[in-house]
Amino acid sequence: MAGPLALVLGVFLVAPVVMICVVSFWGATEWSIYPAFLFDNYAFLFSSEVTYRVFLNTFKYAAITWAFTFVIGFTVAYFLAFHVRSLTWQIALFLLCTIPFWTSNIIRMISWIPFLGRNGLANSTLMSWGVIDEPVEWLLFSDFSVILAFVHLYTLFMVVPIFNTMMRIDKSLIEAASDAGASGWQTLWFVVLPLTKPGIMIGTIFVVALVMGDFITVRFMSGSQSANVGRMIQNDIALLQYPSASATAVVLLCTVLLLIGILLRFVDIRREL
Amino acid sequence: MDQDLDLEFVGLTKRYGKTVAVDAISYHFETGTYACLLGPSGCGKSSTLRMVAGHESVSDGAVLLGGRDISALPPAKRGTAMMFQNYALFPHLTVADNVSFSLRMQGVDANSRSAKAAEMLELVDMSGFSDRLPAQLSGGQQQRVALARALITKPQVLLLDEPLSALDPLLRIRMRAELKRLQRELGITFIHVTHGQDEALALADEIVVMNNAVIEQAGKTRDVFEAPKTAFVARFLGSHNVIALPEGQIAVRSDALRLRPPEGAKLPGRITNIEYQGTHVALTAMVPGDQEVTALLSDTDFFGDPKDLGEAVGLDWEARAAHALTA
């Protein structure tokens, strides 16, 4: 049975990655690319100050998005797992969480634009309430809107694994904690949180990998004013600089793998899989 | 004993919607009693225990401990501690951290915590295991840790929810002796929920037999066993025959039955089964009214006058061995 799986993985995962690796060593001129084994692409990448800035920006997006999706995801999962008593309601509310996923990513993203724009719903509402006198500029085409869209798009990826782990926590542990005099917060901190770590870690891997690899959200929500690594690769591709794009992709891939490797050192997720 | 630590149920009731799980039960446990709540599953014994522990709200009535109504207090403020059926040890904490968890919640510093935990582990004979995780312990060891964790809060009443049901039979008998020893040493009240009558008889000073949300019969273990009041209690405690006679139902212990010639005996019958049990022989006979009655004869009695399947016998008992039943 391993045969078909190996074939699928080989064709759709290993071969493309190998191809990108190979191309990343190719040479390029302004009008052509040619097979070679050069380190030019990497040398240029690592010598450019832009690379570091863009990578830093990408990490920033990932970190902030992670923090928000974690807090929201943990809260939602906690509510579903420990406060909703009946299984029927749990399933119903869980499905409710997935409703945004019935439309495509891009539509969900774009629907923020009329809401956040200069003359959008948010600004006009705030003005009519008298909270602000002039439209707030940073609502759209800013880091704020990029992160807002990321959080909106990816929180569910945090909710699902955390909820899954929480559902496996023996409810009598919560009772045992309250028997030992733990307050609600103490139970959360000393019992629920440590036992939920594997789920948090899986959610973290999802969110970090998705945000690090994203280019479309950053492009739409920042109005092309901010860049992340995905945008950098996209630009190269638009200029037909495939070797340079490949080199950036390889560096990004290694960065993400390294990050996940570090995360897995801290938490054992094996019993969750 | 300090009279002030008696545990009392006053019209204690638990309702789930329209179902009544515990129906206005009242009982008084004296300080330092080992009491068993005994009954089939669904009889309300676990709900009762959980109401005492504070993990289930009281629908009506009250639980008094030392004259103080504890039914509205949070679990840790009641002076009770609970040992859970599956032990409910925190899987991510070491044995010592599990045991001292309640001290950590109170903000006790790490040194006194570990000293106290070591003391409790000593009490349950688990001293060498303080750095292990629960998953590295056997069932019996986990139970000792759970006991230590419950006792570290210095409870006045220890509540045990089917504590022995997860253990294999041999270990169960050993832990049984252990529980009894601990209770004697600590002198506090133990309330132990079980559906095993042998466990209850072996451990309890008092048993409370529950059925259908009410107390069927309660009292000193021996008094209840010697004089069951209802057919349910007689059957549930075992070793009793419930016999319907024209004058009413009676319970007779199977070892109180004697074999006689059919003529002149209280009950004539025909032997349907003979079971050798080592020290005893259990002899089952069909008596009028299609009832099966079991007589437990000592091996000398039986082999001194062996019987065969199908043979007609008479069953007899002393008048004081029979207890009239109410239902």
By three-state DSSP, how is residue A133 classified?
coil
Q: Which residues of B touch A175 (CB under 8 A)?
A: 55, 75, 82, 84, 88
Cβ contact (<8 Å) for A182 and B75?
Answer: no
Cβ contact (<8 Å) for B86 and A194?
Answer: no
Q: Is the ipTM of this complex over 0.85?
A: no
Cβ contact (<8 Å) for B105 and A186?
Answer: yes
Could you tell me if residue A118 is inside a domain?
A: no
Strand order across the beta sheet in which B189-194 lies: B80-83, B157-161, B189-194, B34-38, B206-211, B214-220
Which range marks the domain in which residue A79 is found? 17-108+136-272
Q: Is the dihedral of CA A260, A263, A268, A271 positive or negative?
A: negative
Could you tell me if residue A97 is inside a domain?
A: yes
Query: Closest Cα to residue B181, out of B127, B156, B144?
Result: B144
Cβ contact (<8 Å) for A178 and B104?
Answer: no
pLDDT 10s digits, A172-212: 999 999 999 999 999 999 999 999 999 999 999 999 999 99
Chain B touched by A186 (CB under 8 Å):
yes
Number of CB pairs < 8 Å for A and B?
Answer: 62
CATH number at residue A146: 1.10.3720.10
Residue for token pair 């960065």: A255
Cβ contact (<8 Å) for A170 and B88?
Answer: yes
- Listed by number, the residues of chain A in 212-231 with a beta carbon closer than 8 Å to a beta carbon of chain B are none
Could you tell me if residue A6 is inside a domain?
A: no
Cβ contact (<8 Å) for A172 and B84?
Answer: yes
Q: Which residues of A touch B84 (CB under 8 A)?
A: 172, 175-176
Could you tell me if residue A268 is inside a domain?
A: yes
HEC string for chain B:
CCHHHCEEEEEEEEEECCEEEEEEEEEEECCCCEEEEECCCCCCHHHHHHHHHCCCCCCEEEEEECCEECCCCCHHHCCEEEECCCCCCCCCCCHHHHHCHHHHHCCCCHHHHHHHHHHHHHHCCCHHHCCCCHHHCCHHHHHHHHHHHHHCCCCCEEEEECCCCCCCHHHHHHHHHHHHHHHHHHCCEEEEEECCHHHHHHHCCEEEEEECCEEEEEEEHHHHHHCCCCHHHHHHHCCEEEEEECCEEEEEEHHHCEEECCCCCCEEEEEEEEEECCCEEEEEEEECCCEEEEEEEEHHHHHHCCCCCCCEEEEECCHHHEEECCC
pLDDT 10s digits, B215-226: 999 999 999 999
Interface with A, mutate which of B57, B82, B94, B99 (most A CBs under 10 A) = B82
Could you tell me if residue A131 is inside a domain?
A: no
Q: Which CA distances in Å does A133 have to A24, A72, A115, A123, A203?
A: 52, 31, 18, 10, 40
Cα(B319)–Cα(B314) distance, integer angstroms: 15
Q: Which residues of B touch A186 (CB under 8 A)?
A: 105
Element of type H or E holding A13: none
Interface with A, mutate which of B89, B90, B93 (most A CBs under 10 A) = B90
Give yes or no for a contact between B66 and B6, defined as CB atoms under 8 angstroms apart. yes
pLDDT at B112 over 60: yes
Chain B touched by A193 (CB under 8 Å):
no
* Start-to-end Cα distance in chain B: 37
- State the average pLDDT for chain A: 89
Interface with A, mutate which of B52, B101, B103, B157 (most A CBs under 10 A) = B101
Could you tell me if residue A117 is inside a domain?
A: no
CA distance B143 to chain A (A): 14
CA distance A199 to chain B (A): 15
Cα(A87)–Cα(B95) distance, integer angstroms: 33
Kindly report the pTM of this predicted structure. Answer: 0.83
Query: Closest Cα to residue B76, out of A175, A171, A192?
Result: A175
Cβ contact (<8 Å) for B84 and A176?
Answer: yes
Which residues on neighbouring strands pair with residue B7, listed in sequence order?
B29, B65
Of the candidates A181, A191, A194, the beta carbon closest to that of B102 is on A181
Q: What is the pLDDT along chain A (273 residues), one digit of tens a residue?
A: 788 899 999 999 999 999 999 999 998 887 888 888 888 889 999 999 999 999 999 999 999 999 999 999 999 999 999 998 888 999 999 888 888 778 888 888 888 888 888 888 888 888 889 888 888 888 888 889 999 999 998 999 999 999 999 999 999 999 999 999 999 999 999 999 999 999 999 999 999 999 999 988 888 888 878 888 999 999 899 988 899 999 999 999 999 999 999 988 887 776 655
Cβ contact (<8 Å) for B105 and A170?
Answer: no
By three-state DSSP, how is residue A142 classified?
coil
Structural domains counted in chain A: 1
Cα(A181)–Cα(A18) distance, integer angstroms: 57
Cα(A263)–Cα(B118) distance, integer angstroms: 35
Query: Closest Cα to residue A158, out of A97, A207, A90?
Result: A207
Could you tell me if residue A163 is inside a domain?
A: yes
Which residues on neighbouring strands pair with residue B253, listed in sequence order?
B240
What pLDDT band is residue B3 in, cutting at 50, 70 and 90?
Answer: low
Cβ contact (<8 Å) for B86 and A170?
Answer: yes
Element of type H or E holding A16: helix A15-23
Cβ contact (<8 Å) for A195 and B91?
Answer: yes
Burial of B63 (0-12, 13-18, 19+ CB in 10 A): buried
Cβ contact (<8 Å) for A178 and B84?
Answer: no
Give yes or no for a contact between B175 and B181, defined as CB atoms under 8 angstroms apart. no
Cβ contact (<8 Å) for A190 and B74?
Answer: no
Could you tell me if residue A247 is inside a domain?
A: yes
Cα(B148)–Cα(B150) distance, integer angstroms: 5
- State the average pLDDT for chain B: 90
CA distance A180 to chain B (A): 4
